[in-house]
Structure 1
């Protein structure tokens, strides 16, 4: 997608900038490629820097209040320190390494309602303009896809996906937020579970898979949230029976009596705990810490907010995800882009 914006910070006659991303979705931990195109205005100007920034639409909970907004989480300067003459055209190709924990925005080409964007900042003689958001598409890593397809094979249905501001205690999480993919249980598990939320925390060698279950109470079992955490390797994707592995994880969640447990196994290392709430301002360093204690099998506790998109239908057999309205994600990007510009003006940022 291409966006074009006359720099408001420079005024009429200032330079313009287009950012063009190469086609197709990207993978977490891979690289985003494209070009930044600049055209000089009516006068020659000094370009101090051209910076790319990844932002995400994130939700935060504090007590009974839920807030949402944009969080910047990855930034890199791709050019700068040159003079752009009046009317001059300049193109800068870029390769931007992406975080391994980059949230997934689509599955088998269907959007999940999660909004990520690339923002281009052009600094001219002390004035900076953050530009518009260019929506970013991210598909799952093979292990992530294998886990989700296993849920589909077990009959679980996709409900929603969102990004939560905060930190999951005891994990290797590096971003100021984490992604939750909410699934509904099949009939054979509906007596014990109301919902299951899946969080992936990827690294270069593998990933932690955090499962949170909202369990129904019974005569011999306690209800409430239960959490398990498993570590899996990227090279296991072709070696494991993922349906059997995920079924085993779920049985552990259903059968445990409570706590935040840890389990070491062929397809995992499980750990469980409770998430804290958020009460500060958005931004890096403001993330809530979700605390918990270790043990030895499978459980955890956390809350999620609603999805940013109207996403329905099921992750059955092939994880075919249905989306209501194919332009929902793009509309949200536009809305929060406008809101962020207002925040910039209010805060006097740059």
Structure 2
């Protein structure tokens, strides 16, 4: 197979869109560099400074838009004009990337177009379509005859750090007490679920020995969180923008999350979790898992007061959450990202 000169990722990260898209692309990028030594370039409108520093240290190039309002087709075409064999991966919820005109224009400039997507509504002209969410198996996607679809947890995009740990995970004693919980609600947590769930935990009769709280670089509620920690009866350990998330997950007995990639990381590590979905996509995914006995969720958590939320969490913790985690782990291929990279670079 011809090795591409460059693999491009069109992705953004901000308080509005969070860090999930960028982190996912970084996992793919590192696999490309590890397996094929290809050059990787991120095309972006916005990335946090800390994330930019991280990817630059890995030898990944970053190209930003030339000016506000620049069209996506112009931006991508200008950034890639000197490259001969190209692959581009789009990971975004922005509707502009899914319009037929955009897709066809990009295909004219690239040997291979791929989408990392949850959206089954558009018609896809891409060569590769990826959705690791198990919900994808019951969704209907409209594609071209040549489109290769990589769906479900057998194609999971999992960082090497998690893959290495997941290979040595041992079965958990189902009679072990739930002593340590982990709270992590994404890079920005715009609705401050962190404090809301901590308040609910404090109101419960059931008490954890330790609550480990992870906040991201774009979390804007630090002051309110610190005030709560200083006045709380809970034993809380606070972490921010960590690079050892796999270790923190392994150290907990149950996790409280908002959804996304965190679900699958916990699943690979055989850790039970409860989802507090903050949006429609997160709810659809969590409800799918819940209906199949693979995880649990708190529906519409933002509408519940502290006592109601605490009561609901307490009810869910009484269920057989460790058996759910074990069932989910069995469905996960921890090396699924290799399937995606192989397809990205094949038949060029």
Of Structure 1 and Structure 2, which has the larger fraction of its residues in helix? 2
Give the TM-score, by structure 2 length: 0.29
Structure of larger gyration radius: 1
Give the TM-score, by structure 1 length: 0.29
Of Structure 1 and Structure 2, which has the larger fraction of its residues in strand? 1
